[in-house]
Structure 1
Amino acid sequence: MSEVGVGARVRETNWFGHPAGLSILFLTEMWEMFSFFGMRALLVYYMTMHLKIGQEHASLIYGTYAAFVYFTPVFGGMVADRWLGKRNAVVIGGATMALGHFMMASEPLFYPALATIALGNGLFLPSLASQIEGLYRPGDPRSSNAYNIYYIGINLGAFLAPLVCGTLGEAFGWHWGFTAAGIGMLLSLVIYLGGSRYLPQEPARTPAAALERPPMDGAVLQRFGFLITVAAIVVVFRGAYEQVGNTIALWASDGVDRHVTANWVIPMTWFQSLDSLVVFTATPLLVMRWARLAKRGVETPWLLKMAFGAAVVAASYLILAGVAAWSDAHGTRASWMWLVGWFVMMTLGELYILPIGLGLFGRMAPEGFRATSIATWFFAGFFGNLLAGALGTLWSDLSHGWFFALIGVVAGIAATLLYILGRRLGHVETRHDANAAVVLSR
């Protein structure tokens, strides 16, 4: 039984104009992201302030951990597609991640805890997102916006995480923040198991079923070749984007005047909530705008949307470079309002590339390879975070202004490559069923 065919059984129940299963996936991912970003909000500060690890070394650890968070889904997606099934992969992966977050509360288990979280994430991440497409019938126009709605869930959890985990970590001790992240992961699992009846059912996993899996033929390889090309360019973009939890966090601590009044200073971890706040504030407005344009027959190719987003991120870093350079030249700290403005601009650019890219990979997935396709998208995060970690080691060698200018150039390179690819391939269209052919009009 195909994923799409099975999904028809759960589409009779609708919440908020979409299949009820989308709300279950939304809430599951929201709490998983709460745990992930709650830990990430503390990680650099925990290493540099509590464990007394040098900045360059901490940047490499941060980049390597974040990279493997995106590397393990490549194999996790394959395991889910061929053996475990998506539901089992989500449950096993989520339980493993929860264990890793609780392990973070123990200093001797610091490195094993990071490895445990990354391994659990490998099963959880692609297996959850790859269930979205199976909720909709072929041709259902709602599916085009499903990934943007799902992305709101990601960022709602990411918004709450620094406020809760970050505040607990700064005020009461880092270990309390890590424990709160673990509780968030447990809530994610409870929601997923409780709402599993609204999700697409899967065929039984038997040796015979594995043999019936569609072959990796020329058409599938061609489609994956295109997706890998896009992912390779996104690697460059992530080298810039993933500075948010690394050097941007360090600049918020050392280079920004966080005083709002004489007696109150904005906690440094709170700024990492701004990205997510802008996402779930601006996403509905962007979705409505794109829907209105689509009704008028104006449909911007997905790759060109992604190129525009990368260009906006590049411009935001170049502006930040000017602010940092001026502050350094005058021996002062930049106002916190500049950092808020940067987050708003950067996140608006992000909305044109990351959820669009996730949707592209989900909708172009060949039959039987959906989790693998989603994993290919996350694989870009592996190399992107390695690049981001390597670039972050320059933070102590360059002035803040020159460093942000360099990051702006990196994002600009990604924008240029996406634009060239988009102009060459034109509009990438996919039908909504998994057997659809991909039309690349030139």
Structure 2
Amino acid sequence: MTRAHPAGLRTLFFAEMWERFSFYGMRALLVLYLVSSLEFPREQALQVYATYTGLVYLTPILGGYLADRWLGARRAVLIGGIVMALGHFTMAFPTLLYPALGLLVVGNGFFKPNISTMVGALYEEGDARRDSGFTLFYMGINIGAFLSPFVCGTLGEVYGWHYGFAAAGVGMLFGLGVFLHGQRRLGAAGLPPVRSPAQAALRPEDWFTVGAVVFACAAFVFGFVAAWPVLRTGWQSLSHVGQGTAALTLALAALAAPRVLSRERPAPMTPEERGRIAAILITALFVIFFWMGFEQAGGTMNLFAYQLTDRVIFDLEIPASWFQAVNPLLIIALAPFFAAFWVRIDRSRFAMSSVVKQAVGILILGLGFVVLAAGHERAALYGKVGPSWLLGAYALFTVGELFLSPIGLSMVTKLAPARLVSLMMGLWFAAIATASYLAGILESLLSGTGIPLYWFLVGSSLGAGGLLLLLSPFIHRLMRGVR
């Protein structure tokens, strides 16, 4: 990796690997834990999952803004990792479910957009290796996601839910250790806005800032959830989501005015910058349709594995959470091929723009839902179905994901102005936040309409992918020559 790509990619690869180990360990267990241990009704468990995953991808707007204007991506990653580790360990206590989820949400807001931004900062503008580098980085994400169902899922389902959550916390600590150990490889990437490249090492005042912000985040989350019984009178419109999750939603609203923290007015954007940002935002609207389907994996597809899939192999019933490892396993297997493929094709006359790649990814996801919808109909007839239905759907989802997700991350870092790149990454994740929330509540929204969930997702995916493909020439013009 280091011969073909900057040395810092190795550090960010493994730091993200362990962070995703912790995140996907939590994701594999949450709905099953709520239904099986805390005895939440299915609809309420999916709503909690929807609110949690939605906020996880919405807080990067704030984390990206603060990194751009004050913290720098490097300090923001440290803050996010520490807060998330606290959240995972707090999940070991059932009575602290909502503060734990709040810590995970806030911590992810600092970590997620900024480590992706640092990957982009390792490459010069126009470097043909960038899409390839993001694909390799994405492989690190999926190594963590592959390991976590076997470690966290097995500990949680077999030995006790809280062992699984604690293992996720340990994974986050490993990620922080890797990130700190590799600081010298990062060069100037992720430094605060006023720091020169010659001052790349973390200083004592950086650690003071990190500690102060971590303390403020923890105090805010615990204080807000504790105060929620007093505040809930004015929040009745979200009472169907559940007391704790509605509290977290209002907490995010209180956080979502970051411009008051900055005394400086940003430089006005040029017409070229405005066009490129418009290209990001238009593409992000279509990406919602991809993630609205893909994020069924942690919700309805997790329950499909738990309730409707025959999981007995040689008299041994495998944990339902193990199915969460299929997608990252295929990513690990296919990502090196795609990394090499993008380098070769992007230098050829058959080069595809970032938008076209993502449109193809959405179309492939739709084909995956054709398989899943057929499997669900068969399960309705026979009670349970073999694992091949889920495996086939996950295989198509994975190919679609490789066309869309790492390419989208790379596109944001190529198009966004340098002074706004973390904020734009946060807005990109806001689209995923919207999709993740819709993924959790979609089953309930469709109830009573007679429209089967998975067939609805076939139509939404194929329709959105086809329309984005038709619009790609217009969007490419907005990108002003960036592919």
Query: 2:360·2:403 contact (CA, 8 Å) conserved in 1?
Result: yes
Q: CA deviation at 1:233?
A: 1.3
Q: Is residue 177 of structure 2 the alignment partner of residue 126 of structure 1?
A: no
Q: CA deviation at 1:21?
A: 0.3
> What secondary structure sits across from 2:313 in the alignment?
strand
Please report the TM-score for the alignment, with normalisation by the length of structure 1: 0.89
2:9 equivalent among 10, 16, 22: 22
Q: CA deviation at 1:194?
A: 0.8
Q: Which amino acid aligns with 1:241?
A: F
CA distance in 1, matches of 2:418, 2:397: 35
Q: Is residue 481 of structure 2 the alignment partner of residue 439 of structure 1?
A: yes
CA distance in 1, matches of 2:124, 2:452: 50
Query: Deviation string for 1:74-120 (max 9, x for gaps)?
Result: 01100001011111111111101100110101011101110111001
CA distance in 2, matches of 1:38, 1:408: 28
Query: Deviation string for 1:321-376 (max 9, x for gaps)?
Result: 112213322x2311112211221122111111111111111111212112112112
CA distance in 2, matches of 1:16, 1:170: 42
CA distance in 1, matches of 2:478, 2:271: 19
Q: Is residue 311 of structure 2 the alignment partner of residue 324 of structure 1?
A: no
Query: 1:428·1:440 contact (CA, 8 Å) conserved in 2?
Result: no
Q: Is residue 276 of structure 2 the alignment partner of residue 289 of structure 1?
A: no
Aligned to 1:420: 470
Greater CA drift, 29-38 or 289-298: 289-298
Please report the TM-score for the alignment, with normalisation by the length of structure 2: 0.81
Q: Is residue 455 of structure 2 the alignment partner of residue 405 of structure 1?
A: yes
Query: 2:153·2:321 contact (CA, 8 Å) conserved in 1?
Result: yes
Unpaired runs of at least 5, structure 2 = 196-261
CA gap of 1:281–1:365, structure 2 versus 1, over 3 A, is same
> What secondary structure sits across from 1:351 in the alignment?
helix
Q: CA deviation at 1:287?
A: 2.5
Q: Which amino acid aligns with 1:177?
A: G
Q: Is residue 410 of structure 2 the alignment partner of residue 359 of structure 1?
A: yes
Query: Deviation string for 1:200-240 (max 9, x for gaps)?
Result: 32565559x98596444544333222211111111122111
Q: Which amino acid aligns with 2:378?
A: W
Aligned to 2:172: 185
1:241 equivalent among 281, 285, 294: 294
> What secondary structure sits across from 1:132 in the alignment?
helix
Query: 2:288·2:432 contact (CA, 8 Å) conserved in 1?
Result: yes
1:334-413 alignment, distance < 5 Å: 334-393=385-444, 402-413=452-463
Q: Is residue 85 of structure 2 the alignment partner of residue 98 of structure 1?
A: yes
Query: 1:55·1:396 contact (CA, 8 Å) conserved in 2?
Result: no
CA distance in 2, matches of 1:354, 1:427: 22
Query: 1:65·1:118 contact (CA, 8 Å) conserved in 2?
Result: yes
Q: Which amino acid aligns with 1:171?
A: V
1:301 equivalent among 353, 371, 390: 353
> What secondary structure sits across from 2:326 in the alignment?
helix
Q: CA deviation at 1:134?
A: 1.9
Q: Is residue 45 of structure 2 the alignment partner of residue 45 of structure 1?
A: no
CA gap of 1:292–1:66, structure 2 versus 1, over 3 A, is same
Query: Deviation string for 1:38-80 (max 9, x for gaps)?
Result: 0110000010111111111111110110000010000110000
1:98-247 alignment, distance < 5 Å: 98-201=85-188, 214-247=267-300
Q: Which stretches of structure 1, 4 residues or more, deviate above 4 A after TM superposition? A: 202-207, 209-214, 394-399, 426-429
CA distance in 2, matches of 1:19, 1:389: 38
Q: Which amino acid aligns with 1:133?
A: G
Greater CA drift, 357-366 or 162-171: 357-366
Total equivalences in the alignment: 417
Query: 1:34·1:161 contact (CA, 8 Å) conserved in 2?
Result: yes
**Higher helix fraction (1 or 2):** 2
CA distance in 1, matches of 2:194, 2:342: 43
What fraction of aligned residue pairs are identical, expressed as a percent?
37
CA distance in 2, matches of 1:384, 1:168: 30
> What secondary structure sits across from 1:368 in the alignment?
helix
CA distance in 2, matches of 1:362, 1:295: 19
Q: Is residue 56 of structure 2 the alignment partner of residue 85 of structure 1?
A: no
> What secondary structure sits across from 2:481 in the alignment?
strand
Q: CA deviation at 1:295?
A: 4.3
CA distance in 2, matches of 1:61, 1:348: 29
Q: CA deviation at 1:425?
A: 3.3
Greater CA drift, 368-377 or 35-44: 368-377
CA gap of 1:258–1:371, structure 2 versus 1, over 3 A, is same
CA distance in 2, matches of 1:365, 1:249: 36
1:275 equivalent among 311, 323, 327: 327
CA distance in 1, matches of 2:54, 2:269: 27
CA distance in 2, matches of 1:105, 1:375: 29
> What secondary structure sits across from 2:418 in the alignment?
coil
CA gap of 1:172–1:363, structure 2 versus 1, over 3 A, is same
Query: 2:76·2:110 contact (CA, 8 Å) conserved in 1?
Result: yes
CA gap of 1:292–1:128, structure 2 versus 1, over 3 A, is closer
Q: CA deviation at 1:136?
A: 2.2
Q: CA deviation at 1:139?
A: 3.8
Query: Deviation string for 1:121-178 (max 9, x for gaps)?
Result: 1111111110112212344322231111111111111111111000000111000000
CA distance in 1, matches of 2:405, 2:312: 32
CA distance in 2, matches of 1:49, 1:276: 25
What is the root-mean-square deviation of aligned Cα atoms in Å? 2.4
Unpaired runs of at least 5, structure 1 = 1-13, 430-437
CA distance in 2, matches of 1:310, 1:49: 33
